[in-house]
Amino acid sequence: MYTLIIDKSINATKKFRANYHIHTSMSDGFSEPVDYVEKAVEAGLTEIGFTDHLVILDDASVGLGSLDVNEIDSYIETIEDVRKSSEKVIVKCGLEVDYTPGGVKYVEEILNSYKDCLDYTLMGVHIIDGFHFDTPESVSTWRSLSQNEIDKLYRRYYELVLEGVETGIFTVVAHLDIVKKFGFKPSEEPLKLVESILESVKTLDMAVEISSAGLRHPAQELYPSSKIVDMLAFLQVPVTMATDAHKPEDVSAGLDLIAMLIKLKKLPLAIPANGLKILNPLEVL
Ligand SMILES: [Zn+2]
Ligand SMILES: [Zn+2]
């Protein structure tokens, strides 16, 4: 059992609070970048990063809710303008990119051509062999699955995450266990597979995000779960802070809880800055 010790000297200074996972109306979010900046300043955040979706499907076409490939330039310009005019919070520009086995070659080309303009990329898996498992429409399919089928989906999900990580073209793994979003659980979590993912993340100098988004869905827990957070701590895998905000009200949702967890577990804190800069959580949070 851990005991939380409140250090008053740390409380006295402004604490580092960041959210590196935000969607605007340029992809599937509901507001303009400036609205998020305004809320972030109100909440006293130190840094935010925009990560609108880039979804390239297996047949290399662009998925729903994604920026079109020819919109990436204007997306980057828009965020750059916001960055320049934002004095009270540091603004970074990223993308949340889907890993799909058939789309990854095209994704790699795209990311190569934008590598000087993007501060980082999140890698997300939202589709398992054609099944868009995190959409509201997927719930009826989830309900119809047998336990054995759910177990297979979990394994396949983590296999895809591992493949995506091993491409080496992304910076941060988004919502590592989002497959649990609607609360359908496997008979046994494939933790050996998760461990392989975390080892690859570490070898490739990537990070895993700790996201409050799962708290707003039926899973009712952070992404990733406390079991996986313990593995992150054991392996000393760097983590970023995230809320996966689709509206300005969520720009700081759960960040204090995430900061407390990162401090408690002494997880190395990652900041996208020309690769990842790693901070000691005990000094900044
Ligand atoms: Zn996502
Ligand atoms: Zn997202």
Q: What is the CATH number of the domain that holds 204?
A: 3.20.20.140
Q: Measured in angstroms, how far is the CA atom of residue 227 from the centroid of ligand 2?
A: 22
Three-state SS for 257? helix
| pLDDT score for 101 | 98
Q: Is residue 98 part of a domain?
A: yes
Q: How far is the CA of 65 from the centre of ligand 1 (A)?
A: 11
Distance of CA 121 from the midpoint of ligand 1 (Å) = 12
Residue 228 counted as domain residue: yes
Dump the DSSP string for 20-87.
Answer: EEE--TTTT-SS-HHHHHHHHHHTT-SEEEEEEEE-B-TTSPBPTT---GGGHHHHHHHHHHHHHH-S
Q: How confident is the model at residue 4 (pLDDT cuts 50, 70, 90)?
A: very low
Burial grade of 11 (CB within 10 A; 0-12, 13-18, 19 or more): exposed
pLDDT (tens digit per residue) in 20-69: 999 999 999 999 999 999 999 999 999 999 999 999 999 999 999 999 99
| Cα of 59 from ligand 2 centre, angstroms | 22
Alpha helix segments (H runs only) across the chain: 8-11, 33-42, 72-85, 104-113, 139-144, 147-166, 191-203, 226-235, 255-264, 281-284
Residues recorded for the chain:
285
Confidence of residue 170 (pLDDT cuts 50, 70, 90): very high
Q: Which numbered ligand comes closest to the C-alpha of 49? A: 2
Q: Is residue 53 part of a domain?
A: yes
Nearest to 197 by CA among 178, 175, 225, 176: 176
- 2 in a domain, yes or no? no
Cis geometry, peptide bond prior to residue 224 (ω within 30 degrees of 0): yes
Tell me the CA–centroid distance for residue 21 and ligand 2, in Å.
Answer: 6
pLDDT at position 283 is 94
Give the Cβ contact number of residue 96 at 10 Å: 28
Instruction: Quote the ligand 1 centre to 282 CA distance (angstroms).
Output: 29
Please determine, for residue 80, whether its predicted confidence score (pLDDT) is greater than 60: yes
Give a yes or no: residue 277 inside a domain.
yes
CA 11 to ligand 2 center in whole angstroms: 31
Asked, for residue 7, whether it belongs to a domain, the answer is no
Which ligand lies nearest the alpha carbon of 124? 1
Which ligand lies nearest the alpha carbon of 246?
2
Assigned domain for 138 exists = yes
Cβ–Cβ under 8 Å, residues 96 and 122: yes
Q: How many domains does the chain have?
A: 1
State the distance from the centre of ligand 2 to the C-alpha of 234, rounded, in angstroms.
Answer: 27
Write out the residue range of the structural domain in which residue 132 sits: 17-284
- Is 269 domain-assigned? yes
Q: Kindly calculate the radius of gyration of the chain based on its CA atoms and give it in whole angstroms.
A: 18
Would you say 46 and 39 are in contact if contact means Cβ atoms under 8 Å apart? no
The 3-state DSSP class for residue 99 equals coil
Percent share of the chain, pLDDT over 70: 95
The CA 23 to ligand 2 mean position distance, Å, reads: 6
